[in-house]
Structure 1
């Protein structure tokens, strides 16, 4: 059998066929070329006259609407925590740990802006440790003075919805203490300290 080298074979060029739609887009290209000078000036004028805006008008409108709802949510949670504390102090409790745990759970879930299932054990995960644990909470001092005002918290939501079994997709939240006396019952850092003691 003789050696056949495929490079030695010679083929003819493919037959040429008339191009379909050979003039497609010719009209629009002509208009672009015709108006190029005027369009260049108008686009430069538009860019120079742009004003800085934070988001489009519709998103600004919706942010304004949500601001009131966020404040109302904070007010409702504040009232709920105050009711827990007032009832516990007026009527007494067998164990203050229960009242403190209730307050911490409400304030922490509200402060994180999380679903309850992101923090506590959801019903479908009985055999797993898919809940917020002390190892997910980091308290540290920012600055030189060890004061309550310089205390910071970094909380990792490792088991939030759609991220329970995915690696390296944790969500971090950072907290500063609420220093106003009338908001102290809504401070997650304060409740974490009280609960740990």
Structure 2
């Protein structure tokens, strides 16, 4: 198994990759909290709103999402890997959100029920990006937000993983903008710096 998770796209491989690393995940990336907090704050979620953390992993974003929507809001955390969800529960992050083992390609949610989706590192693991982003769009109300986030930028992440950036990188703005546009989203802002990657998109109003 490669140590570069961006090369893993099969569901079984994703589960194996993250399952084997779940117990050490938070320790490896212990300093990422402020970046998560800033990314959630940038979404401007409404108090009392509903938000999904898609590919929530060990649930690092869940406390910040709960703070954003308040005690009257709804926070859901969905992940494909049971071991990651177990870590989230062990850290009592399930007290901040309802956790579900779910595939983002087939979310157990009605249409247009969410105010936003937060997705940390998710896009690199989507087997069918356009269709998967369209499924996320299905669950979000028109005008709701999608946050595609990573606590380091594309170049810093590539250097960490010992690989080169390529023109085919989905997170590059020239690729991401049309991908989102074809999946029900409009890119609102794009930041790719060493200490943060954050693309915010708005759910289009259906024609």
State the TM-score, normalized to the length of structure 2. Answer: 0.19
> RCO greater where, 1 or 2, for CA within 8 Å and sep 6 or more?
2
Q: Which has the higher helix share?
A: 1
